[in-house]
Every structure is written in C-alpha cells, then in structure tokens.
Amino acid sequence: MNPKQLVVKLSDRSVPLNVIGVRVTVLVSDDVSKAQKITLQSGDEGAGPPPHSHPWDESFYVTKGQVQFICGGQTSTCLPGTLVHVPGGTVHAFSFGPGGGEMLEVTAKDSKAIQMFSALDREVPPGPPDVPKAIEVAGRYDVTFHL
C-alpha cells in the first residue's frame, strides 16, 4: 500500500457506525494510511464504553461538549480542546457528558479499532446492548472489558 493524500469534507464522510450507542465515523482507515487510523466519535449523554483495555495506543481530542474519561484509575472531565492519550494496555473508559459530545480518536497502525467498530455495528443491534455478545465480538479484536 502506498500512502496517499486524503481530504475528507463533511459531504464525503461515510455513514456513522452505531457502536453500542456511540456514533463512529471512519475518517482515515487501514486502506488509506499505514501509520494511523482516525475516527470521529459522538454520543448522547451517558454513552460510552465500560472500562476496557487493548494493546494499541489511542488518543482522543475533544471537539464538542464534555467527555468524562477514566484512565489508569484517574477520572477527568474533558472539555473541547482537551487531548487524552491512552498507552496500550491501560484500562480506560469514557462517557459523554450533559448534552452529549464529540471527539476525534487516533490510533496507531497496529490498532484493530476500526475492524472492531465495524463488527460491533454489524453484530450488536441498536437498543439495550447484548453485553455477552459485545464482549465476545470485542474479544476477537484483542479488547478486554474490565467489568
């Protein structure tokens, strides 16, 4: 794969994936970049994954609203302009605050995040989540939940 320039305008974005209540729009995928993957994630108040870990690094940049992060046992309320970096293997979680929120997510080349998001969108229907199914699907992509 050869790296290529990419400009993603609002009108070019793909339909967001529904990942257990979080809308995930893939902006830069494995097909485009060898070095990183980028998604735009948004959700209503309270949406977000429970504590989990995975082997790849992940960074989040809050663009709208507020997002509560728990990372390595520390809780932070993050407003627009906040960057959160999560080293691989760190237990972390987030939830969108009052009125919902939005953030960019950037992962490294070894990330399986986009493949996992696509599988969760396909296999776990909207509504109250089928927790055992979500755990099984995420596990296929090296994600461990710490419930």
The C-alpha atoms of residue 78 and residue 33 are separated, in whole angstroms, by 28
The pTM for the full model equals 0.93
* pLDDT at 1 > cutoff 70: no
The C-alpha atoms of residue 96 and residue 29 are separated, in whole angstroms, by 24
> What backbone torsions phi and psi does residue 120 show, to the nearest 5 degrees?
-65, -40
**Domains of the chain (ranges plus CATH)?**
10-145 (2.60.120.10)
Average pLDDT of the residues of the chain: 93
| Strand, coil or helix: 98 | strand
DSSP 127: S
Tokens representing 21 are 């209540």
Sign of CA dihedral 114, 98, 11, 85: negative
Residue 34 banded pLDDT, cuts 50, 70, 90? confident
